[in-house]
Amino acid sequence: MKTIIKSFLLSAVAIFLIASPASAKKLKFAYVMHDLPEGIFWNTVYDGMKKACADLDSMDHLEVECEMVGTPYNVVNQVNNLRAVIGSGVDGIVSTIIDDEKMDAVFQEALDRGIPIISANTDDAKGSDGNPRLAYVGSNLYNAGYDLCVAAVALVPEGPIHALLGHNDVTQNFAIQRNAGHEDCLKDFAAANPDREVTWEVVEITMDGPTIQSRVGAYIMSEPKTNIYLETGIWHLHVSQTLEEMGKQPGEIILAGYGAYSSLISRMKEGWVQLTNDQGAWLQGYLPIIQLYLIDMGFQPFDVQTDSALNGVITEEIARDLDVESPRIWKM
């Protein structure tokens, strides 16, 4: 993580040294996302955004302002927020892409106004072939899903596999792409291991902790052969609590999901959660703002895969060595 941040800043400083304007240049960037700018994940993204803004603003030749604008999981509201931000005359925009079709036009509107716009956290499934965004900073959601599943099935080295795939929202890109990775992994594993019984079922579980606990608990009661739980979101901590209440033992059912927040890492240290994908929440706030500045200075935009920078999947072994006070870890 430090290497990536350092390389971005060195590039920015190099441009500054080559051509430093006589007076401070004012820049305003907006980060438009598909949730409210609060809660454990987006608080961490926000912290990264504010740090990038502060780092840039500390340069003598710059005055930089950043704002985060959110709406609770509604593509129409997010498009409206983007249009409002475009109309306010910002110098650059970061936005999540929660729909592969309904956000294309507003991204093009920004570009037509001369405002660079890049995506972060959630990208179009086809990347720049599906949306005119200039770059993407975040996790490759499909690959993250596939890799997490590979790590999960490796923890069941023999016997049958029955996986419960918790799908948090069948309308949201992040969940759709991750779940596709989960399913393709299981299909490939089944094809490569014809001597093993490999089955799975997709269950829509929502993004509400108590609802997830109720639905997953009921499913496991009805399907006691379940030995892997893979979900598309960050609520596998709640599932671990359900399993403990049901009298299960740590590791009896492999639990895997996404996110690196303090209470989850603590639960991994206790053996209740086996795997989680660290998509780099802080980096998804920091690096897009730095890149908008570099684009303003004439650099060509480029994609950054934040989970690869952090080695993606966190295992129990890795979790034992993690400091929950690290900026990498979301606070909860």
Do both 126 and 154 map to the same domain?
no
Q: Decide: 16 and 59 in contact? Cβ < 8 Å.
A: yes
Quick one: pLDDT at residue 40?
79
The whole-angstrom separation of Cα 132 and Cα 322 is: 38
Query: What pLDDT is recorded for position 329?
Result: 73
- The answer to whether 200 touches 164, Cβ cutoff 8 Å, is yes
Least confident interval from 1-10, 216-225, 294-303: 1-10
Angle at 136 between CA 148 and CA 82, to 5 degrees: 120
| CATH code for the domain of 295 | 3.40.50.2300
For residues 68 and 123, state if they share a domain: yes
Q: What is the pLDDT of residue 39?
A: 75
Alpha-carbon distance of 58 to 68, in angstroms, equals: 20
189 part of a folded domain:
yes
What lies within 8 Å, CB to CB, of 39 at 6+ separation is none
Q: Which among 261, 270, 164, 168 is positioned nearest to 217, based on CA atoms?
A: 164
Residue 227 belongs to a domain? yes
Start-to-end CA distance of the chain, whole Å, equals: 22
5 pLDDT more than 70: no
User: What is residue 18's predicted lDDT score, i.e. its pLDDT?
Assistant: 46
**pLDDT-based confidence at residue 316 (cuts at 50, 70, 90):** very high
pLDDT tens by residue, 243-267: 999 999 999 999 999 999 889 999 9
Is residue 256 assigned to a domain? yes
Q: What is the pLDDT of residues 174-218, one digit of tens each?
A: 999 999 999 999 999 999 999 999 999 999 999 999 999 999 999
Looking at the structure, tell me whether residues 232 and 285 fall in a common domain.
no
Quick: pLDDT tens for 261-315.
889 999 999 999 999 999 999 999 999 999 999 999 999 999 999 986 556 899 9
User: What percent of the chain stands above pLDDT 70?
Assistant: 90
**Which residues are CB-contacts of 35 (< 8 A; sequence separation ≥ 6)?**
41, 42, 70, 71, 72, 73
**134 plus 193 within the same structural domain:** no
**pLDDT confidence tier of residue 136, bands split at 50, 70 and 90:** very high
Whether residue 96 sits in one domain with residue 180: no
Q: Is pLDDT above 80 for 21?
A: no
User: Residue 13 pLDDT > 80, yes or no?
Assistant: no
Task: Please determine, for residue 332, whether its predicted confidence score (pLDDT) is greater than 90.
Answer: no
Backbone phi, then psi, for 111, in 5-degree steps?
-65, -40
220: domain range? 142-278+316-320
What tokens appear for 63 in the block? Answer: 């005055």
Question: Looking at the structure, do residues 178 and 248 belong to the same domain, yes or no?
Answer: yes
Same structural domain for residues 116 and 60? yes
Q: How many domains does the chain divide into?
A: 2
Q: What is the pLDDT of residue 8?
A: 52
In the block, tokens 């109309």 appear at: 87
Residue 30 pLDDT: 98
Same domain as 241, residue 148: yes
Query: Are 295 and 171 found together in one domain?
Result: no
**Could you tell me if residue 21 is inside a domain?**
yes
Per-residue pLDDT, 310: 58
Residue 56 belongs to a domain? yes
Domain presence at residue 330 = no
Average pLDDT along the chain:
91
Looking at the structure, tell me whether residues 49 and 149 fall in a common domain.
no
Considering only CA atoms, which of 100, 183, 152 is closest in space to residue 258? Answer: 152
Residue 100 has pLDDT above 80, yes or no: yes
Please report the sign of the dihedral spanned by the C-alpha atoms of residue 229, residue 233, residue 237, residue 238: negative
Asked if residue 125 has pLDDT above 70, the reply is: yes
Measured CA angle at 297 (ends 293, 301), to 5 deg: 70
Q: Are 321 and 268 spatial neighbours (Cβ–Cβ below 8 Å)?
A: no
**331 in a structural domain:** no
pLDDT digits (tens, 9 = 90+) for 102-122: 999 999 999 999 999 999 999
Residues 37 and 186 in one domain: no
**CA pair distance 262, 266, nearest whole angstrom:** 6
Q: What angle do CA 219, 221, 226 make, to 5 degrees?
A: 70
Span 78-97, pLDDT tens digits: 999 999 999 999 999 999 99
Inside any domain, residue 16: yes
- Answer yes or no: is pLDDT of 140 > 50: yes
Q: How confident is the model at residue 17 (pLDDT cuts 50, 70, 90)?
A: very low
Distance in angstroms (rounded) separating the CA atoms of residues 305 and 279:
9
My answer on whether 43 and 147 are in the same domain is no
Give the contacts of 170 (CB within 8 A, at least 6 positions apart): 176, 204
What digits encode the pLDDT tens for the residues 25-52? 999 999 999 988 777 789 999 999 999 9
